[in-house]
A and B are shown apart, each in its own frame.
Chain A
Amino acid sequence: MLEFPGQRLRDRYAIAGIGATEFSRDSGRTTRALGVEAVRAAMLDAGLGPGDVDGMLSYHGNDSTASPVIAGDLGIRLNFYMDCSGGGSSIEALIGLAMGAIEAGMCRTVATFRAMNGYTGNRIGGTGRQAPVFTGLSLDQGIHGMHSAAQSFAPSFMRHMYEYGTTSKQVAHVKVAHSKHASNNPRALYPKRVTVEDVLSSRWITKPLHLLDCCLETDNGVAIIVTSAEHARDLRQRPAYIMGVAGRVNKEQPGGYHWTRGPISRVAGGHAAPIVFGQAGIGPEDVDVTGSYDAFTFTTMLQLEAYGFCKEGEGGDYVSSGIIELGGARPNNTSGGHLCEGYTHGIGHVVENVRQLRHQADDYCPGWAQGQHTYDYSEGGCRQVQDVEVTMNLGWASPSTGSALIMHN
């Protein structure tokens, strides 16, 4: 059996630039316009011009605009590009691919983006507008009434509750925590703080999921710049060094369905953990901030458990203990995440962790851009974590597909 290469590439690559459009539910623009604005913003953030970027990666679900078009609009000539089919958990894997392309000598600096009209265009949960026909793979799952991500993932949460006594009330704390974070994020689509009772009294989507257990479909474009650590040190921003990356990691899943094998309450992160922690040479106890993918409240919990931030079955206790809130021991999704800031297919979670590592969370502190924060987490205040050194992203596509990324400053 071949072994993983361990820590050979640790700290050799970095994220040097980040950029995003407005998060809205009414962009009124094409994914091309969103992608161009996001990539341009990330380049300017890093202090790069069109001649300084020669690689591009994107991910999509047939709802984006391809790299050559985005690059062409910005006057960039590419030495490497790839537009990959994939949703959540793609970004961590693409950061690894960017490192690989640079390491292979194919290019020097890679812009990676996701551009989608996730609300006004192609809604992930489905629009109900699809042709009413059952064919192909929908004969295995769709024909049984299981169509959206919520409907597909819900049995995993149900089984976790059965096996471990986890409750809806416990995971509602994920929404509560993320809403607290979003209330200190001027860009958040849903900045209102909510209570556990608000979550539990919101309407059912598919039992055991309430409306407020589900994330916010959003129109947006987000981009990041990956380059060598050596190059990043010469650029405009403090580099976020990449310690480890894993993905997209699968569980065993005949037919590609996550419910076919093994305990469905346990997720792919369990397989990604030894890879990413092995590269980084650290463990979960060394991580200051997590970005656990919150397509739903319980997906955050299942992943934190899979990566060892708590013991198996104790995810409900972990997310309801206050640990994941700003001011807690290890805040999660300090932007408000997909539940409250807006749905980005995961790339927004990486951008937020870069902001944290730069001490530049764009909160309501007047001096945030200079790294001056109050650390007062009351509503309309600060969302910078004090003394943050190590962040981790836990990407999710389904219970059987995940990715991870560890960075430090």
Chain B
Amino acid sequence: MTPHSGSQYLGADVAVASNDPEHLQFLEAAGRGEFVLQQCAECERLRYPIGNACPFCMALGWQWAAVSGRGTVYSYEVVTHPIHPSFRGLVPYVIVLVELDEQRGVPGEHDALRVLGLLVDAEGNPEPEERAGINVRVQVDFADLGDGLALPRFRLADEPSEFPVWRYGYDGAG
């Protein structure tokens, strides 16, 4: 159970347990600049977050599959009151819930591969809320954790949104 050591995020240790190879491999792939998800060996559907069986067909077998890391913001929030000490220096920060381009509308109309992440700029600092919003296009960004690991987050993609962008507190929204 000795955890993987030597990696840190925002000043806190990232300690992946030795019996948790799934999370370790996920963060190692990100360390190589790859955004990977689990793909079912039987029905071939991708899934997120990390799990120990396929939520669509219950199969146990799976392999890693790289995805583009591009997607659309499905929902978001602007955290102003931090809880975890590591995030105190970051507020206000935007957390985005992103629907990846792969496998949208699967298995149901309202389903997609949804991934959480901090929305950051090119320097890795939190984007201001004025630049966030539902339907904003984003792409994966990797935060270096040291010792070969990285954490997928998101930054704005330089491409037009498919649907009008909706921002809380702007144009009468919310």
Question: B150-164: contact bitstring with A at CB < 8 Å (1 yes, 0 no)?
Answer: 010100000000000
Contact present for A255 and B78 (CB under 8 Å): no
Given contacts A132-B85, A144-B118, contact A156 B75 (CB under 8 A): yes
Question: B11-25: contact bitstring with A at CB < 8 Å (1 yes, 0 no)?
Answer: 111111100100100
Contact present for B85 and A207 (CB under 8 Å): no
Contacts of B173 in A (CB 8 A): 161-162
Shortest Cβ distance from A158 into chain B, in angstroms? 5
Contacts of A207 in B (CB 8 A): 77-80, 92, 129, 168-169
Given contacts A206-B78, A262-B111, contact A159 B49 (CB under 8 A): no
Chain B residue with the shortest CB-CB distance to A167: B174
Given contacts A158-B168, A162-B75, A261-B111, contact A254 B95 (CB under 8 A): no
Asked if A136 CB lies within 8 Å of chain B CBs, one says yes
Contact present for A144 and B95 (CB under 8 Å): yes
Shortest Cβ distance from A96 into chain B, in angstroms? 27
Q: B13, B55, B168 — which one has the most chain A CB atoms within 10 A of its CB?
A: B168
Asked if A141 CB lies within 8 Å of chain B CBs, one says yes
Q: Tell me, in angstroms, the Cα distance from A257 to B115 when the chains sit together.
A: 11
Question: A196-211: contact bitstring with B at CB < 8 Å (1 yes, 0 no)?
Answer: 0000000111111000
Shortest Cβ distance from A119 into chain B, in angstroms? 15
Asked if A143 CB lies within 8 Å of chain B CBs, one says yes
In B17-58, which residues have CB < 8 Å from any A CB? Answer: 17, 20, 23, 27, 47-51, 55
In A228-277, which residues have CB < 8 Å from any B CB? Answer: 252, 254-255, 257, 259-264
Q: B55, B81, B88 — which one has the most chain A CB atoms within 10 A of its CB?
A: B81
Asked if A105 CB lies within 8 Å of chain B CBs, one says no
Given contacts A135-B3, A146-B116, contact A260 B48 (CB under 8 A): yes
Question: B66-108: contact bitstring with A at CB < 8 Å (1 yes, 0 no)?
Answer: 0000000011111111111111101011010100000000001
Given contacts A145-B93, A208-B174, A254-B51, contact A158 B13 (CB under 8 A): no
How many chain A residues touch B (CB < 8 A): the figure is: 47
Contact present for B79 and A145 (CB under 8 Å): yes
Q: Tell me, in angstroms, the Cα distance from A130 to B108 when the chains sit together.
A: 38
Asked if A4 CB lies within 8 Å of chain B CBs, one says no
Shortest Cβ distance from A69 into chain B, in angstroms? 31
Contacts of B134 in A (CB 8 A): 158-159, 162
Contacts of B137 in A (CB 8 A): none
Given contacts A141-B116, A207-B78, A263-B110, contact A168 B12 (CB under 8 A): no
Contact present for B84 and A255 (CB under 8 Å): no
Contacts of B166 in A (CB 8 A): 162
20 contacts between A and B (CB under 8 A): A128-B84, A132-B86, A139-B27, A142-B84, A144-B116, A145-B87, A145-B90, A150-B81, A156-B75, A158-B75, A158-B134, A168-B174, A205-B80, A206-B78, A207-B77, A208-B168, A255-B49, A259-B97, A262-B108, A264-B74
Residues of A in contact with B (beta carbons under 8 Å apart):
125-126, 128, 130, 132-136, 139-148, 150-151, 154-156, 158-159, 161-162, 166-168, 203-208, 252, 254-255, 257, 259-264
Residues of B in contact with A (beta carbons under 8 Å apart):
3, 9, 11-17, 20, 23, 27, 47-51, 55, 74-88, 90, 92-93, 95, 97, 108, 110-111, 114, 116-118, 129, 134, 151, 153, 166, 168-169, 173-174
Top 9 nearest A-B pairs by Cβ distance? A132-B12, A155-B75, A207-B78, A255-B49, A154-B77, A126-B83, A147-B83, A254-B55, A204-B80
